[in-house]
Copies of this chain bind each other. A is one copy, B any other.
Amino acid sequence: MKKLLVLTAFITGLSVQAQTDETATIKSIYTHALTKQQGYEWLRKLTGMGGRLAGSDEATEAVKAFQKVADSLGFTTQLQEVTVPHWVRGPKEAAYYTLNGQRYEVAVRALGGSIATPAEGLTAEVVEITSFEQLDTMTDELEGRIAFYNMPMDPAFINTFFAYGSAVKQRYVGALEASKKGAVGVVARSLSSSINPYPHTGSMTYAGADQQIPACAISTLHAEQLSRDLKANPKLEFFMQMAPRELDSVVSYNLVAEIKGSEKPEEVIVIGGHIDSWDLGTGAHDDGAGCMHSLDAVWLLKELDLLPKRTLRVVFFMNEEFGLNGAKVYAQRSKEEGIDHVIAMESDAGGFTPRGISMVAPDSIITRIRKLRDYLEPYGVHEFSETGAGADISQLKSDDLVMIGLRPDSHRYFEVHHSSQDVLAQVNARELELGSATLAALIYLLDKYDIVAL
């Protein structure tokens, strides 16, 4: 390790003494995070407020509660108005089918944005679809029937986000595509990396559809069961009932909490996550963790007297899940106000042990960031990739913005994501805090070495 440090010092033109000091500083950040566990305490408070679907009172109350927290910490805060859709789930959803005279209840939840079934429910035969190629070849097979998308996340991906990306189409455009073939409803396999009884919801679109049809997620456990039972009786009738409604859009808020830079206040480092969540759980990982990472990272720097030369902004974006409204408003307002963002960081991949970061930046900056890896390796942060940064900060994209996303261990994430299981009990305090410390250490190093585009 010593050899590596000397090598890095040589490359970056720093003295070994400086390296040693920074190594101690970074150690102090991690130690403070693990000892105080402030981010975890905040996450307890946030998740205690319930699910935070955009448009809900809970979402807006959470923003306001954390404005108070940021105020008490000495930030200058503002709430930015964001108009968001207001879809509500309505009464509990139900689904079942009958096979050999026996009725099997299955766990379903409406996809976000879905219309309701008729009040008395919808009953139809089911057609299983295991690929979009298969769907393409269909002529009238779906006419008057329910399309059952059953495309598991591929377990062979090591990073489960890639498996999710490969499977998400069935949820997002499943209803749109099935309606073109005459289907009357959609049951989409939950995007979960394990077989479990919890439906995982998420957004869908009707954009361009002639006919809107109701769509729900079915748990992976019940998707497997339904698939087996369809082989026994391809004519079995499926009943689904759900009553979501789209209400008038409402005004909610982004929280922007700022600490002015001491030497370069006009240059802004923004760090954030999204405060809205799905309604089934309490958004502990998605994206309570990311919001708390962001606030905690700045808190750590402040506590340890390591605030950067540049202005720091923590942003809790409103409504990432249902259309990125908050991110768009933030980008627009920043443009109008002439805010000069030089670095944007996001955490929206859960609160598990950080494994690395992903970056979007000019090559020369990427090279400089990679040289910081020696500082983070002792904390298990090894993987520096160029696979995007984050949905909310992507709205700020420009040629001279350095964008960084935190990349935690992904193996458990899609077991809880968008389901009733995304709750505080699934978050480990040490793992969460290592994420906060990693972001704090990165801000400290990027600012200190002026790793920004010129």
A379's partner among B30, B158, B430 (CB-CB below 8 A) is B158
Q: Is the CB of B380 within 8 A of A35?
A: no
A56 interface residue per 8 A CB criterion: no
Give the interface centre of A34, A411, A431 by most chain B CB atoms within 10 Å: A411
A353 interface residue per 8 A CB criterion: yes
A156's partner among B35, B353, B409 (CB-CB below 8 A) is B35
A30: chain B residues within 8 A (beta carbon): 156, 158
Interface 1/0 per residue, A409-434 and B, CB below 8 Å: 10110010000000000001111001
Copies of this polypeptide in the complex: 2
8 Å CB contacts to B: which residues of A269-302?
none
Q: Is the CB of B353 within 8 A of A380?
A: no
Bound form: Cα–Cα A245–B14 in Å:
63
A409's partner among B31, B353, B377, B379 (CB-CB below 8 A) is B353
A31: chain B residues within 8 A (beta carbon): 155-156
Bound form: Cα–Cα A355–B383 in Å:
12
List the B residue with the shortest CB-CB distance to A430: B411
A67 interface residue per 8 A CB criterion: no
Interface 1/0 per residue, A19-60 and B, CB below 8 Å: 000000000001100110100000000000000000000000
| Min CB gap A356→B, angstroms | 9
A86: chain B residues within 8 A (beta carbon): none
A394 interface residue per 8 A CB criterion: no
Q: Is the CB of A411 within 8 A of B431?
A: yes
Given contacts A30-B158, A31-B156, A156-B31, contact A194 B429 (CB under 8 A): yes
A378 interface residue per 8 A CB criterion: yes
A377: chain B residues within 8 A (beta carbon): 382
A193 interface residue per 8 A CB criterion: yes
Bound form: Cα–Cα A434–B156 in Å:
11
Q: Is the CB of A380 within 8 A of B379?
A: no
A415: chain B residues within 8 A (beta carbon): 428
List the B residue with the shortest CB-CB distance to A194: B429
Interface 1/0 per residue, A144-171 and B, CB below 8 Å: 0000000000011010100000000000
Q: Is the CB of B412 within 8 A of A34?
A: no
Q: Is the CB of B379 within 8 A of A382?
A: no
A155's partner among B160, B355, B430 (CB-CB below 8 A) is B430
| Min CB gap A410→B, angstroms | 9
Q: Is the CB of A412 within 8 A of B431?
A: yes
Q: What are 15 of the A-B contact pairs (CB < 8 Å)? A: A30-B156, A30-B158, A35-B156, A158-B378, A158-B379, A158-B380, A158-B434, A193-B430, A194-B429, A353-B353, A353-B409, A380-B383, A382-B382, A411-B428, A411-B430
The 9 closest A-B pairs by CB, nearest first: A31-B156, A34-B155, A411-B430, A382-B382, A411-B431, A35-B155, A412-B428, A353-B409, A353-B411
